[in-house]
Amino acid sequence: MSSEMNRPAEAGQHPEPAAAAALSPSSSSHSAPLQPQTLREAVGPTYFPIALIARFPYAMMVVGVLTLVVAARDSISLGGLTSAMVGLGTACFGPLIGAAADRWGQRPVVLAAGVANSLALLLLAWTAYSPLGSWSVLSAAFLIGASAPQVPPMSRSRLVGIITGQLPAARQQKTLNGTMAYESAVDEVAFVFGPLVVGLLAAAMGPAAPIIGAAVLTAIFVTSFALHRTSRAVPHHTEHDVAPAPTRALFSPGLLVVLVGVLGIGLVFGSTLTSLTSFMDDAGHAERAGLAYSAMGVGSAAFALGAALFPTGFSLRARWLTFAALILVGAVGMRIAAAAAEPQLLLLMVALLVIGIGIGPTLVTVFSLVAQRSPQGRSATAMSMATTGIVVGQSAASAITGALAENYGTAVAALVPLLAAGVILVAAVVNWFLSRSR
């Protein structure tokens, strides 16, 4: 097995013995026979569908905001800036929401964030068509990002806590690997098909429909996620608990390099979608951009799930380096297709497929590393920082790539996915040497 998986769990990966005993159904002789043998038994049949649908509003935010503002205010530059404000809000408050969950528990924090996010989404839907100035739109977008409920990191934190606290020790590592693969796959499904949902709703019901739909989904499914019994799987800290690791532990080199890699993945998402939209517009098929983009998601989700089948000798650092190189190859192909004299749609589709095959396993790998390297008592915070990196990268890349496409053309815009892939690869190389030294 790889060095990452063989070494003892790092701080934050496993609960303290007392907490584990409290979580485990086998903590007493009377309840031992009731110990769940699989993760599905532990979380119940409704958890995974709820957690999947609850992710979609988070994945729809950036593209939905862009679509609404461009249609309502007739300004691509304002739309890109508004999307960037969503990312800025998430960057400022996403990790704080995770820290609050570590301190007070997930249920009250996710409930409060869900209510605030639903109201912020509805506020944007109103201000976009109101006579108020651009400041109102930008402010509402910032509130949307700041109140995003952070379902993906909360879900990972819950499941890691359940696996390490309730399942038999012999099944924990294999279940953890498969769970990280599944979580990354459903993240990929949400982040790729979220824009497709936005496009369908906007085309069928108007530009405000995706934002209103996201508000409704948040109110129903994020609330259900918050109230699910698994919200108590990651207990909050009190004065009687072992003190969590200091905040500075979140900025260790091993964790920071992973967060840079996650940011690169977000940059790939945003730049690929925007440059693809520009490419399809040049080809006279702008309305098909969402469908073309979903082709990348199919390969990505499939290979993310397949990552659970990788041999244990294929270490996490080797996986990251391998699939980061594959993303770079796909980005090169996309740039060649965009720079050709005539639109090379077939080459573009092949390039998107290659990027997707690389992105899926890379997501699995980096989130597995975040789970391993989370400091004691800071798992939700670390997971929130990682997921925030995706939204920040997606927002920033969408704004930058859109401005380049509008002012300099698709060929220049297609350089941004290439640079984003380079960020992932450089982070993978640094992680290779950091992992060896560890």
Tokens coding 290 = 């969402």
CA–CA separation, 369 vs 155, rounded Å?
16
pLDDT at 240: 43
Nearest alpha-carbon partner for 318 in 303, 307, 302: 307
Other CB atoms within a 10 A radius of the CB of residue 314 amount to 13
Burial of 346 (0-12, 13-18, 19+ CB in 10 A): exposed
Nearest alpha-carbon partner for 296 in 337, 332, 268: 268
Q: What is the CA angle 314-315-317, rounded to 5? A: 130
pLDDT at 217: 92
pLDDT at 114: 93
pLDDT at 291: 67
Yes or no: say if 364 and 307 are a contact pair by the CB < 8 Å rule.
yes
Yes or no: say if 417 and 275 are a contact pair by the CB < 8 Å rule.
yes
Nearest alpha-carbon partner for 323 in 256, 368, 278: 368
pLDDT at 380: 66
Q: For the chain, what's the residue count?
A: 438
CA–CA separation, 118 vs 279, rounded Å?
34
Tokens coding 200 = 């369908």
pLDDT at 437: 57
Looking at domain 46-237+247-437, what is its CATH homologous superfamily? MFS general substrate transporter like domains (1.20.1250.20)
CA–CA separation, 395 vs 389, rounded Å?
10
Tokens coding 383 = 């997971």
Q: What separation in angstroms does the CA of 74 have from each of 204, 271, 273, 289, 348?
A: 19, 21, 20, 20, 29
CA–CA separation, 413 vs 406, rounded Å?
9
* Per-residue model confidence as pLDDT tens for the chain (438 residues): 444 444 434 434 444 444 334 434 444 444 444 777 778 888 888 899 999 999 998 878 877 887 788 788 877 668 778 878 888 888 888 778 888 887 888 889 999 999 999 999 999 999 999 999 889 999 999 999 999 888 888 888 888 888 888 788 877 878 887 787 788 778 767 776 777 788 778 778 888 888 999 999 999 999 999 998 887 766 554 444 455 666 666 777 888 999 999 999 999 988 888 888 788 777 776 656 666 777 787 777 778 777 777 887 888 889 999 999 999 999 999 999 988 877 788 898 899 999 989 988 898 888 888 878 877 766 667 777 887 788 788 878 878 888 888 788 888 989 999 999 999 999 999 999 988 755
Other CB atoms within a 10 A radius of the CB of residue 204 amount to 8
Yes or no: say if 145 and 61 are a contact pair by the CB < 8 Å rule.
yes
The pTM assigned to this predicted structure is: 0.69
The radius of gyration of the chain from alpha carbons, rounded to an integer in Å, stands at: 21
